[in-house]
């Protein structure tokens, strides 16, 4: 199979989808890999390293999209990239289609077969390709919050951690999955007072086992969330509906009642955000203020630490990329129901129920398009 790795063009995105180690494994199996020149530069990977691993370096993205049977990316294809996609081509990347009707329509119109990292599952019903970036984003969230709590950044002018004789910052985390747990671990380590709000009894048990009395653990009903947010210095939005739109847990009314200079870090923004006042931002312009509350809503947070993120993502995606290259479509998805759950669009049809429901579009089961 001919596999293409274009350079990411999303604003302030420095990750690359494949490392030389995976390129080497693909080449050893008889596949051809083309990498756009300088695609790995942001992650500290040179063209020479890719060449040594067996890749061909191509000067522009047009040739990648024209020639590749399988396109492997990090972030969703932007409009200029979607125009280059074609029927019969496979796209494997983060898509986050539920809050993005235009991308969904363009992918359907292109005829491409689009698989989303964020809906691939494992035997434990977890999301193994979302997890590494969730860990990175969750770990980053308290660091980001600490920075924007500083007065020159528009914050309240308080330290996240504890100083003798003074209270630590109050950090509220909405969600107890990978993002929430990673954020809690980091915030505890920084010395903050941490509260975690979760919905399910299963998640509550898991978070309780992880942190015990080091956090305050509560049920995420609307009244409790409002009380927590209005008392917080930092709120980290870590709510997830697999493949679907993030639940709106923080109302505009709640934001208006929060402390001036408090900070919302909405990690859920790539699925639409969990605050009604959130909208996507970039690393270059990461924040905006609503009712005195600083909002950080960068949709590709792990892109700020691209070397760590690139290798963590590549470790997770490698088995699935190899399976797609070895078996092609549809055999790889027929053989692996977990990879099959990653299929979001095929031949103009939406094949992920959460996406179809969010966009109010017809749903076709993935297994039905593989017959």
Measured CA to CA, the distance from residue 354 to residue 344 in angstroms comes to 9
| 270 counts as catalytic | yes
Measured CA to CA, the distance from residue 183 to residue 36 in angstroms comes to 34
Measured CA to CA, the distance from residue 238 to residue 278 in angstroms comes to 13
Q: List C-alpha distances in Å: 335 to 108, 114, 293.
A: 24, 17, 49
Measured CA to CA, the distance from residue 25 to residue 32 in angstroms comes to 11
DSSP 143: H
Measured CA to CA, the distance from residue 128 to residue 341 in angstroms comes to 12
List 96, 295, 338, 346, catalytic entry: 96
**What end-to-end distance do the CA atoms of the chain give, in Å?**
22
What's the burial of 257, exposed, middle or buried (CB within 10 Å: 0-12/13-18/19+)? middle
CB 272 within 8 A of CB 246: yes
List 106, 270, 314, 336, catalytic entry: 270
Give CA angle at 98 (5, 236), nearest 5°: 90
CA count, 13 A, side-chain hemisphere, 211: 23
Specify the 3-state DSSP secondary structure of 182: helix
Catalytic residue positions? 96, 270
């Amino acid at each position: 199979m001919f596999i293409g790795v274009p350079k990411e063009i999303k604003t302030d995105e420095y990750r690359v989808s494949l490392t030389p180690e995976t390129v080497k494994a693909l080449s050893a199996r008889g596949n051809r890999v083309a990498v756009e020149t300088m695609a790995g530069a942001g992650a500290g990977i040179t063209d020479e390293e890719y060449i040594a691993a067996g890749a061909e370096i191509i000067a522009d993205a047009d040739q990648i999209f024209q020639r590749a049977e399988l396109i492997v990316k990090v972030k969703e294809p932007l409009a200029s990239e979607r125009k280059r996609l074609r029927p019969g081509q496979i796209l494997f990347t983060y898509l986050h289609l539920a809050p993005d009707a235009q991308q969904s329509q363009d992918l359907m119109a292109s005829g491409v077969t689009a698989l989303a990292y964020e809906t691939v599952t494992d035997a434990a019903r977890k999301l193994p390709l979302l997890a590494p970036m969730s860990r990175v984003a969750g770990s980053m969230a308290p660091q980001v919050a600490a920075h924007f709590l500083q007065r020159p950044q528009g914050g309240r002018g308080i330290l996240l951690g504890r100083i003798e004789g003074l209270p630590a910052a109050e950090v509220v985390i909405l969600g107890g999955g990978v993002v929430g747990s990673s954020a809690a671990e980091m915030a505890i380590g920084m010395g903050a007072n941490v509260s975690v709000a979760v919905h399910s009894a299963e998640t509550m048990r898991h978070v309780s086992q992880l942190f015990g009395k080091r956090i305050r653990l509560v049920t995420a009903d609307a009244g409790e969330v409002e009380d927590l947010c209005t008392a917080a210095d930092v709120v980290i939005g870590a709510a997830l509906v697999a493949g679907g739109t993030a639940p709106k847990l923080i109302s505009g009314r709640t934001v208006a009642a929060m402390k001036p200079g408090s900070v919302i870090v909405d990690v859920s923004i790539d699925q639409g955000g969990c605050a009604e006042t959130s909208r996507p931002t970039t690393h270059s312009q990461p924040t905006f203020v609503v009712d005195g509350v600083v909002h950080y809503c960068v949709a590709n947070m792990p892109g700020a630490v691209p070397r760590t993120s690139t290798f963590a993502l590549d470790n997770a995606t490698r088995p699935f990329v190899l399976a797609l290259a070895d078996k092609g479509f549809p055999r790889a998805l027929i053989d692996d129901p977990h990879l099959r759950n990653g299929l979001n669009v095929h031949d103009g049809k939406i094949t992920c129920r959460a996406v179809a429901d969010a966009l109010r579009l017809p749903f076709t089961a993935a297994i039905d398009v593989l017959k």
